[in-house]
Amino acid sequence: MYKVLVSDPLSKEGMHPLLEAEGFKVDVQTNLTKEELLDRIPNYDALLVRSQTQVDAELIQAATRLKIIGRAGVGIDNIDLSAATEQGILVVNAPDGNTNSAAEHTMAMLMALARNIPQAFLSLKNKQWDRKSFIGVELKGKTLGVIGLGRIGAEVAQRAKGQRMNVIAYDPFLTDAKAEKLGVQMGTVQEVIAAGDFLTVHTPLLKETKHLLGTEAFKTMKPGVHIVNCARGGIIDEDALYDAIVSGKVAGAALDVFEVEPFVDHKLLELPQVIATPHLGASTIEAQEVVAVDVCDDVVRYFTNQAVKNPVNLSAVPKEVLKKIEPYLLLGEKLGSFIQDLADDMVEEFHVTYSGDLQDLDVSPITRNTLKGFLRSRLGESVNEVNAKLFADRLGVTVTEQKTSQSKGFTSLLTVEIVMKTGRRKVSGTLLNGLGARIVRVDDFIVDVAPEAHLLFIRHKDQPGAIGRVGMTLAEERINIATMQVGRAEKGGAAIMMLSVDKYVGPTSVEKLKRLDDIEDAQAIEL
């Protein structure tokens, strides 16, 4: 008998795959304290949650019998994925079930914000017949800026078109074809922020999206802009939003999600221009039923040896295969992440080539890891070895895996090449005895650098002073150089610098480097 603990409220109707299956005992125990959860979790084989239960490393460690965690929803921020993976616990989610509800909630918030509906209702409840204080604005003819055009962002864009709004969107994976199909204009993130009369965010919360709308961004927005966040708290800097509303730059904000939840005692809630809901985007009968069906179905599939539909972390790799290829998994992930930072256009093809010792191995898990590293810096932690290929297919990226006997003198060589409309980029790595992973080639240049932390890849003309100017500029930016390598194709011709530095090189510093004489391109790489 498999024991399943449901620790957040799940739709009873949606739980039918589990309730009807043989061999499962389901305990629904919501509102448990942390201590109670820690006490009970060792008895369970499966745990089903929404966004309230914090499935942290401590809970996972205590879950000695747990095999699978089901997240009835999209975001997996409340689950410590690395801890679950380390403990061999499969995590599944329900990525599609609440898309429609979240999009509808976003539109409800947008309209309520434009017409001051919550404020007017509150006034009426207080027995005031006040019509002057609640004059709104129309949506028709206004521009909606959408940041993140994935499942929910795309649904919101379509609905906004129905309201006769103009839609401009930014998403690093937005293709011309998708933009055309949705009838949205494509822009850079700065263009979208500057163009919107209304702005709505629909990205995951990642390092890149944390405080995406912060003090600097508010400065470039249109005066009187309205802001909506039904994605994740933290994408908007709440303190900066408060200041922007008080200063009059932002006319109002509609928030469903917050940096810290529950969110009940915050200065933003004191502002009349702010309307808010307690993380209700997915809270409809329909969405809750579908997400519950999806995770319950996957739990049953897992325990009856069928492939699960929505895995979030690990696939099962046979132990003997894993032992041989394990050292290359991390190298692949780093190379994937490295090449993502070199991509300056939509990536259409992603090729992984293996040579030397790697030729004789089943390398598909390395390819999946490499692809994961490539996609993760854009799509977040929900991309893993299991689902990376699906994500690539969805994005229209062709993935190939090749083997060759040409290992260029290395015992083993792993090469990742991306193809974009604007050109190709390539990076190779190997494992050196005693030295661990190394990047040994970038495009056609030989390098030797450990794939870690903060790197800077610069293309320049082989001219006197070019290296000095880079050194001076980094010094002005208070960025210390740890190692530096220089290579050139021919005297006076194309050349490269590969630097490892002691801290993150931000976009402003990169732009300064790009403007230097003889510098053709500069890319900061975070591994």
Ligand X SMILES: O=C(O)CC[C@@H](O)C(=O)O
Chain residues binding ligand NAD by CB under 6 A are 74-75, 98-99, 102, 147-153, 170-173, 189, 202-204, 206, 208-209, 230-232, 256-257, 279, 281-282, 378-379
203 binds, among ligand NAD, ligand X, none (CB under 5 to 8 A by kind): ligand NAD
Q: How far is the CB of 16 from ligand X (least distance, A)?
A: 19
- Of the two residues 233 and 429, which places its CB atom closer to ligand X in the complex? 233
CA–CA separation, 50 vs 74, rounded Å? Answer: 9
Question: Which one of the listed residues 105, 151, 202, 232 is annotated catalytic?
Answer: 232
SS3 415: strand
Long-range contacts of 442-448 (CB under 8 A, 24+ apart): 442/342, 442/496, 442/498, 443/496, 444/489, 445/487, 445/489, 445/496, 445/498, 446/487, 447/485, 447/487, 447/496, 447/498, 448/485
The C-alpha angle 510, 513, 514, rounded to 5 degrees, equals 90
- Of the two residues 163 and 283, which places its CB atom closer to ligand X in the complex? 283
Residue in 14, 17, 70, 75 binding ligand X, rule: CB under 6 A? 75
Question: Which one of the listed residues 50, 151, 279, 378 is annotated catalytic?
Answer: 279
- Of the two residues 14 and 153, which places its CB atom closer to ligand NAD in the complex? 153
Q: Among 140-148, 155-163, 187-195, 274-282, which window interacts with ligand X (CB under 6 A)?
A: 274-282
Question: Which one of the listed residues 261, 326, 349, 511 is annotated catalytic?
Answer: 261
Residue in 7, 11, 98, 166 binding ligand X, rule: CB under 6 A? 98
DSSP state for residue 51 in the 8-state scheme: S
Q: Among 67-75, 239-247, 323-331, 367-375, which window interacts with ligand X (CB under 6 A)?
A: 67-75
- Of the two residues 199 and 495, which places its CB atom closer to ligand NAD in the complex? 199
Contacts of 338 (CB under 8 A, 6+ apart): 373, 416, 427, 439, 451, 455, 525, 527
Please give the single-letter amino acid code of residue 310: N
SS3 98: coil
Distance of CA 199 to the CA centre of its chain: 19
Q: Compute the CA torsion angle 147, 149, 151, 153 (nearest 10 deg).
A: 50
Residue in 54, 78, 100, 283 binding ligand X, rule: CB under 6 A? 283
- Of the two residues 7 and 412, which places its CB atom closer to ligand NAD in the complex? 7
Q: How far is the CB of 50 from ligand X (least distance, A)?
A: 3
Q: How far is the CB of 46 from ligand X (least distance, A)?
A: 17
Is 315 a binder of ligand X (CB under 6 A)?
Answer: no
- Of the two residues 152 and 458, which places its CB atom closer to ligand NAD in the complex? 152
Is 282 a binder of ligand X (CB under 6 A)?
Answer: yes
Is 51 a binder of ligand X (CB under 6 A)?
Answer: yes
CA–CA separation, 52 vs 30, rounded Å? Answer: 10
Task: Look at strands 68-71 and 454-461 and give their pairing.
Answer: unpaired
- Catalytic, 105? Answer no
Q: How far is the CB of 96 from ligand NAD (least distance, A)?
A: 8
- Of the two residues 74 and 250, which places its CB atom closer to ligand X in the complex? 74
Q: How far is the CB of 447 from ligand NAD (least distance, A)?
A: 28
Is 74 a binder of ligand X (CB under 6 A)?
Answer: yes
207-246: which residues touch ligand X (CB under 6 A)? none
- Catalytic, 232? Answer yes
2-18 exposure pattern, b = at least 16 Cβ within 10 A, e = fewer = bbbbbbbebbeebbebb
CB-based closest residue to ligand NAD: 150
50 binds, among ligand X, ligand NAD, none (CB under 5 to 8 A by kind): ligand X
Are 201 and 255 in contact by the 8 Å Cβ rule? The answer is no
352-376 exposure pattern, b = at least 16 Cβ within 10 A, e = fewer = bbbbbbbeebebbbbbbbbbbbbbb
CA–CA separation, 81 vs 381, rounded Å? Answer: 8
CA nearest to 93, candidates 269, 298, 277, 305: 298
Q: How far is the CB of 52 from ligand X (least distance, A)?
A: 8
Residue in 73, 234, 311, 373 binding ligand X, rule: CB under 6 A? 73
* Three-class SS of 307-336: CCCCECCCCCCCHHHHHHHHHHHHHHHHHH
DSSP state for residue 482 in the 8-state scheme: E
Distance of CA 260 to the CA centre of its chain: 19
Q: Which residues are catalytic?
A: 232, 261, 279
Q: Which chain residues interact with ligand X by CB under 6 A?
A: 50-51, 73-75, 98, 279, 281-283
